[in-house]
Amino acid sequence: MTAPNNAVFDPVNNKWVAENEGVSPDTEVRQDARSLQAGRDPQLERAVQEALKLVEDQPKIQVSPPSFPTPAIKQ
């Protein structure tokens, strides 16, 4: 296993970011031994909960697909 030895430069904050630093989580969920022993994954459960919340909050977009092109017919 190797650690990355490069990074991305952020010109706005004038610093190197992401590589070799990690990314802070949006929501912190602690793993506990009892949940893991019971076969549960608190981090995954919370991620699914957050994703379902986003799905409920976002408006549904109605998309009408275009008609299929028929190359044999000139229009």
Higher pLDDT pick, 66 / 6: 66
**How sure is the predictor about 12, in pLDDT bands with cuts at 50, 70 and 90?**
confident
Number of domain units in the chain: 1
Q: Report how far apart, in Å, the C-alpha atoms of 4 and of each of 7, 17, 18, 21, 22 are.
A: 8, 12, 10, 10, 11
For residue 14, being part of any structural domain is answered with: no
In a domain, 74, yes or no: no
Residue 22 has pLDDT above 70, yes or no: no
Is residue 69 included in any domain, yes or no? no
37-61, pLDDT tens digit by residue?
999 999 999 999 999 999 999 888 8
The range of the structural domain enclosing residue 36 comes to 29-56
Residue 46 lies in a domain: yes
Position 19 scores a pLDDT of: 61
In a domain, 20, yes or no: no
Q: Is residue 24 part of a domain?
A: no
Task: Quote the pTM value.
Answer: 0.51
Reported confidence tier of residue 14, pLDDT bands at 50, 70, 90? confident
